[in-house]
Amino acid sequence: MLRFIVIVLVIVIGVAGVAALRTLSATGYFATVTPGYEGQCRTVPAPKGPEDFAIDRARGLIYISSTDRRSIMAGAQNARGDIFLMRLDAPQEGAVPLTSRIGEAPSDFRPHGISLYEGPDGRQTLMVVNHLSTGEHAIEIFDVVPDTLTGQVELHHRKSVTDPLLTSPNDVVAVGHDSFYAANDRGWGSAEPWGMIEIYLILPLAKAVYWNGREMSVAVSGLTFGNGIAASADGGQIYIAETTAKRVNAYERNMTTGELSYLTSVSLDAGPDNIDVASDGTLWVAAHPKMLQFAEHARNAETQSPSQVIAISAPGPRGGGFEARTVYSNLGDEISGSSTAASDDGLLVISDVFEPVMAICQAGPGV
């Protein structure tokens, strides 16, 4: 009997050791981060927790999703986030709050992922992931209304979409004025302890879902912490980041039914967060090379978390050419815990999950 107990204990310890080693390896514990960027960067003040942003490139505007996540983690019940507007050509002038300024948002508003859609007629719609204080989740849909008197814009809240399939939405991509895809980061939801167990055991339980304007359905299953989600300019491809699997997947989209078919994937050396698609089709991905260090940064602002920005070439019709290269890397002293990156015409904008700062970088030749 004693011999049997010893054998069982050895097996349990061995399995636990293998699982721990797998988690450490997957989260970048053994990775070495070498800072580098072929260009010049400066930081500018930003709202607290500018985790995601969407750029209106034609008008030079940045819509920033802001939530003070540390106050929420500390137990604040009345914490309310906002959508801010910043000028791309003058970020030093600061960001203007949109939803709280005009009151056009749900009173319980804690925004996360954000997506801007513009139709053929120029009409714009902004969609935002909202984590309500009740533990429920919603996708908020706003009409973007230009203010001809001030030259600014207003957000008019049109609809809140809720559904049991929104277990833990992290990001959203609008593919129409009333339709979207959303990526859940956990299948078991964000409630403790199951959400953390799913993360640290690197379980592929998350799903991406599709809302066609009337009902929600599962678009992709088996995701390992689904995170950023984006679409090609023509809407024919959808891209999804899997953070703890350290890869980005590309899918072909049926424009009629919304169904997604797997096309290809690219493996990365860091955990991808949000995805932005540049005008030339390049995917720009902010990433976390050391995810356990990022988790400590979430608990303690004094702990810096390395940041990385990866550019991925757009895949061809058969999935070829989906290749990644690191463009920016920092130990966390410039931008800590990068969450979103976007680039066009040599300008690179980077935000982070917690700190009230963004990085504005100008690339050197050939970047």
Tens digit of each residue's pLDDT (9 = 90 or more) over 215-226 = 999 999 999 999
- Report the CATH number that the domain containing residue 329 is assigned in CATH: 2.120.10.30
Cβ–Cβ < 8 Å for 43, 357: yes
Cβ–Cβ < 8 Å for 161, 154: no
Is 6 domain-assigned? no
Tokens of 156: 């008019």
Cβ–Cβ < 8 Å for 183, 206: yes
pTM above 0.85, yes or no: yes
Is 21 domain-assigned? no
- pLDDT tier at 18 (50, 70, 90 boundaries)? low
- pLDDT tier at 363 (50, 70, 90 boundaries)? confident
The confidence score (pLDDT) of residue 100 equals: 75
Q: Residue 66 pairs with which residues in a beta bridge?
A: 82
Give how far Cα 335 sits from Cα of 43, 63, 67, 90, 240, Å.
8, 19, 17, 19, 23
- pLDDT tier at 29 (50, 70, 90 boundaries)? low
> Is residue 12 predicted with pLDDT exceeding 60?
no
- pLDDT tier at 47 (50, 70, 90 boundaries)? very high
Whose CA is closest to 337, among 310, 312, 311, 303? 303
The confidence score (pLDDT) of residue 8 equals: 46
State how far the Cα of 124 lies from the Cα of 120, in Å rounded to an integer: 10
Q: Residue 360 pairs with which residues in a beta bridge?
A: 42, 349
Cβ–Cβ < 8 Å for 238, 230: yes
> Is residue 366 predicted with pLDDT exceeding 70?
no
Range of the domain at 272: 31-363
Give mean pLDDT, residues 22-30. Answer: 65
> Is residue 4 predicted with pLDDT exceeding 80?
no
Is 181 domain-assigned? yes
> Is residue 230 predicted with pLDDT exceeding 90?
yes
Calculate the CA 120 to chain-centre distance: 26
> Is residue 77 predicted with pLDDT exceeding 90?
no
The confidence score (pLDDT) of residue 345 equals: 87
Cβ–Cβ < 8 Å for 65, 114: yes
Is 154 domain-assigned? yes
Tens digit of each residue's pLDDT (9 = 90 or more) over 252-295 = 999 999 999 999 999 999 999 999 999 999 999 999 999 999 99
Is 20 domain-assigned? no
* The amino acid at 69: R
Is 124 domain-assigned? yes
- pLDDT tier at 23 (50, 70, 90 boundaries)? low
Cβ–Cβ < 8 Å for 323, 27: no
Domain count, the chain: 1
Is 253 domain-assigned? yes
Tell me the average pLDDT of the chain: 90
